[in-house]
Structure 1
């Protein structure tokens, strides 16, 4: 039995990790735009995976392009009063090969529909179209000026992402498709392009992007950068250090355990300061005057009270946060603001053999685009990274049988790496002294209040991590 594509998508999309509307019923799903993508050129990129899988009879015999169709589809999903847009790359085949069964959407009138981002036989069209700067229907494929793109590489979908889908082509490029579409230029394209023009060593080189007009606005659909194949994830490196510390029973100090991370935290602090200087040079800066600072503090208080209403355990710690907010409100000094990363933590940085590189400048995907592009204090990024050190040091204790012995070590590791990061940030030209420390303390506690709500909703076993921020002498 075949179904309409809309019916198939309504049942399929709720199971995708990047779908933002989980837990709510879909009241309507409609196809807003369809762009057929031509599979140009000879059929050599189409090879049979299994005998007879797509009308062929022997492994290795080329398929014809007529047997595969690929369409770029924009859909709108309505859930009660909320409506979101998503982009899909949908393929249609007479029969799905074994390797694509996990990407199946269902049987439609035009064949077996599937999520074509998983089909390395066809995703090369994304690279070739960017290299050619092609216009296909309403889609505009663009290449960064001065860059060359190798169009012969095959893709592999990364499995770790939540809100987007990333395809790695060979060991050269990573193409991020922004699954949920927000009308406007994505901050990642905007920021990375500007920093690349300035020759920043702290970004992955950009190669191209895809855009279209959505709701009357030029909108970023995908962004392709250098794939850092020899780099190590900052979160993974930090966890290795923490595990070494926990397993080093004879050591009494974090500095004596194998895998001490403090030197890297210091370098990361310097790289962060350099990045902030480049952002301040590439984009406008401004000043938030004292009255506006007080209004900002009131926003912190409202969010704290909202968090307490959802997680009553936080009420016992509210006085600590209010004291920090009072100190910020009483400083009576303006705050310099600029473009910042906006969602900065150890999972957003990679260590290459020569430098720390920062990724994912799109900000928090759940926030409105104008908020993600808004000017803010660079200390918001610093606060985010300091909170990440706390998470790295403590989250392994959630179900550890020896929590009492390891808790002091976790605190010591966090304090050592926080201090190293701040020292590096200061050495790199970032300011954290006097009233700056007051602002940083308030920003970190506001972030911790947000984390309390997130953990209560998603990972209750981790709730002690953000709650500890209100007890420990941070800042």
Structure 2
């Protein structure tokens, strides 16, 4: 992945007619959309940067929020810019879903699209980092995208399992040029990722009119943590007016802070999805679709959404946020926003049109309009309440000593059915010698970089490079492979198994959220998904052997878990072949290259984040580098 991928493109651009700034209004209507106004706020601009000259009232809103967001955003698990300083913000749009300036104590709901401007990782390290240029270009075909940690509960449309942010950082580290080449390159452009925020607003002085007290207006600071919030709610150490606007204890973990100035001065802001009242409003907007400023709420033809369902935010979140409504629906709220349809929605719509029942169909969604393609903001799908995610099911089977081959075979069939449906419903292509040459060169560069960082990988480097050379030789001979839309991040945590009939469903077709939409929509060989699932079996075997605590089995190579993984891999490939007539093992060079690239990424990830887990991918490295490595299943 090149450094340019750190900047995910522009968020939705407003039309010229609606680009003028206007303050939020207590009418429940949109206060936008707004154009790319002056940049405001940031860690290097003090606590409350003044709006740029002539910026209008919305710049006052953003200036008042900037100190709070600078502190709060980096603490969110879905924030992709960890380790890089925030230098400022740009307001893309501000929309009141509920009035935010009322003085009667009514809670407001403010929807924001905000660009966060940041320096490069090298800026944070004090070392100038050059643009990686084409060193990692085309990495979408390289296969190092799936999560190395399959251990979170999965449901249709829920946030992608695992550590996408950490994975993106590791892939960027793999693409770092040498110190000599850095000196010859220009500094990387400053990224400006766009994030979707939903802010609950508790107005000041709910029992009376008037401005917030002077001691509140004199400063802008992040709200104290849960303990301080609870103390305030109980009357300890705060004046009476502060107690009146304190958040309920159940929202203490979601607090953001109080702006000192601007249209929301003195109001208490918090993450709205943690509030059942606010989450219920989103479902109501989807149940009764329409337009509110730049926001468009859409419902699938013929879909009917039940009213009054109780919302329940999911705790295990990664790159997005998810809310379950009753046992009927799950809403995925995308946090990192780019113009265009999100693959999660695009693929689900396409598969629904073909009649594929392996993926939950879209029930409703909402998007932000702009001058170009609307940007997908959220997706509502049926909640598969009777399903367990494949990762947990595999661990349960291992703990019981039960056979997993039948389930793995059925999962292979489900994967093949989805691939066939994707090939029928979306474009296909062919990758030939030039693409294969580019692909294998990128794989080799990642191997060299990882071996430089992890000494345990170095003894295998020559043999692993042979896997890429074998594939390159086929390309030199004129060999080509079909390419199509794939899942892009397939592992056991992205598969759901019905407890009723054992049927598998696949979820989370978003791909790697850190990558641009164009890259996530790139056509690729289906073996990328297959390799990701095969690696997931190895991880399940190691973790299952480690016992109830979920850690890896220390040897990660003892006969029993290794044999479990071998049987599961073989059954999965056989099931895939039974459904589509093509066995992935029939093209060992292609499969070995993709699985090797994935395992190399895992080695680097584990060495830097979970050293105790390093034996898991190293066990695969030994197998892939061994004499029988070409028989990858």
Please classify the TM superposition score into its range, dividing by the shorter chain length: 0.7 to 0.9
Alignment partner of 1:360 out of 508, 513, 516: 508
Q: 1:401 to 1:389 in 2, by over 3 A?
A: closer
Alignment partner of 2:272 out of 89, 106, 116: 116
Residue 521 of structure 2 aligns with which residue?
Answer: 373
Residue 230 of structure 1 aligns with which residue?
Answer: 386
Provide TM-score, normalisation by structure 1: 0.87
Contact in 2 for aligned 1:293/1:335 (Cα 8 Å): no
Residue 419 of structure 2 aligns with which residue?
Answer: 276
**Gap runs ≥5 in structure 1:** 40-53, 56-63, 245-256
Deviation at 1:415, TM superposition (A): 0.2
SS in structure 1 opposite 2:489? coil
Moved more, 443-452 or 101-110: 101-110
Distance in 2 between the 1:394 and 1:203 partners? 29
Q: 1:285 to 1:406 in 2, by over 3 A?
A: closer
Contact in 2 for aligned 1:395/1:462 (Cα 8 Å): no
Deviation at 1:217, TM superposition (A): 3.4
Residue 20 of structure 1 aligns with which residue?
Answer: 80
Residue 104 of structure 1 aligns with which residue?
Answer: 255
Answer 1 or 2: which has greater strand percent: 1
Q: 1:402 to 1:18 in 2, by over 3 A?
A: closer
Q: 1:138 to 1:263 in 2, by over 3 A?
A: same
Alignment of 1:45-60 (within 5 A): none
Distance in 2 between the 1:463 and 1:110 partners? 49
Distance in 2 between the 1:180 and 1:110 partners? 28
Deviation at 1:292, TM superposition (A): 2.5
Q: 1:405 to 1:21 in 2, by over 3 A?
A: closer
Contact in 2 for aligned 1:183/1:215 (Cα 8 Å): no
Aligned Cα RMSD in Å?
A: 2.3
Alignment partner of 1:297 out of 403, 419, 440: 440
Distance in 2 between the 1:450 and 1:434 partners? 22
Distance in 2 between the 1:458 and 1:157 partners? 27
Residue 77 of structure 1 aligns with which residue?
Answer: 116
Alignment partner of 1:202 out of 347, 358, 369: 358
Q: Deviations over 1:121-163 (max 9, x none)?
A: 1222212222222101100011011111113112111011211
Distance in 2 between the 1:442 and 1:292 partners? 14
Residue 416 of structure 1 aligns with which residue?
Answer: 567
Distance in 1 between the 2:117 and 2:417 partners? 43
Distance in 1 between the 2:581 and 2:532 partners? 15
SS in structure 1 opposite 2:86? coil
Deviation at 1:321, TM superposition (A): 1.5
SS in structure 2 opposite 1:470? helix
Moved more, 452-461 or 342-351: 452-461
Q: 1:396 to 1:356 in 2, by over 3 A?
A: closer
Distance in 2 between the 1:389 and 1:136 partners? 46
Contact in 2 for aligned 1:121/1:154 (Cα 8 Å): no
SS in structure 1 opposite 2:98? coil
Q: Deviations over 1:20-61 (max 9, x none)?
A: 11222222234332100037xxxxxxxxxxxxxx99xxxxxx
Distance in 2 between the 1:402 and 1:455 partners? 14
Deviation at 1:111, TM superposition (A): 1.2
1:389 is aligned to 2:570: no
Higher RCO (C-alpha under 8 Å, 6+ residues apart): 2
Deviation at 1:311, TM superposition (A): 2.2
Deviation at 1:101, TM superposition (A): 1.5
Distance in 2 between the 1:358 and 1:176 partners? 15
SS in structure 2 opposite 1:314? helix
Residue 594 of structure 2 aligns with which residue?
Answer: 443
Distance in 1 between the 2:552 and 2:74 partners? 37
Distance in 1 between the 2:111 and 2:298 partners? 16
Provide TM-score, normalisation by structure 2: 0.66
Moved more, 79-88 or 410-419: 79-88
Residue 51 of structure 1 aligns with which residue?
Answer: none
SS in structure 1 opposite 2:278? coil
Q: Deviations over 1:415-441 (max 9, x none)?
A: 010011011011111523676222111
Alignment partner of 1:178 out of 325, 334, 337: 334
Distance in 2 between the 1:372 and 1:385 partners? 18
Paired residues, number: 438
Contact in 1 for aligned 2:544/2:552 (Cα 8 Å): no
Moved more, 438-447 or 451-460: 451-460
Contact in 1 for aligned 2:542/2:552 (Cα 8 Å): no
Residue 131 of structure 2 aligns with which residue?
Answer: none
**Gap runs ≥5 in structure 2:** 1-46, 49-63, 120-189, 204-244, 260-264, 624-628
Moved more, 405-414 or 326-335: 405-414
Contact in 2 for aligned 1:6/1:31 (Cα 8 Å): no
Residue 11 of structure 1 aligns with which residue?
Answer: 71
Residue 396 of structure 2 aligns with which residue?
Answer: 240
Contact in 2 for aligned 1:92/1:110 (Cα 8 Å): no
Alignment of 1:255-274 (within 5 A): 257=401, 259-274=402-417
Contact in 1 for aligned 2:543/2:552 (Cα 8 Å): no
Alignment partner of 2:107 out of 25, 47, 68: 68
Alignment partner of 2:611 out of 445, 460, 465: 460
Distance in 2 between the 1:140 and 1:403 partners? 51
Moved more, 190-199 or 215-224: 215-224
Residue 37 of structure 1 aligns with which residue?
Answer: 97
Q: 1:405 to 1:385 in 2, by over 3 A?
A: closer
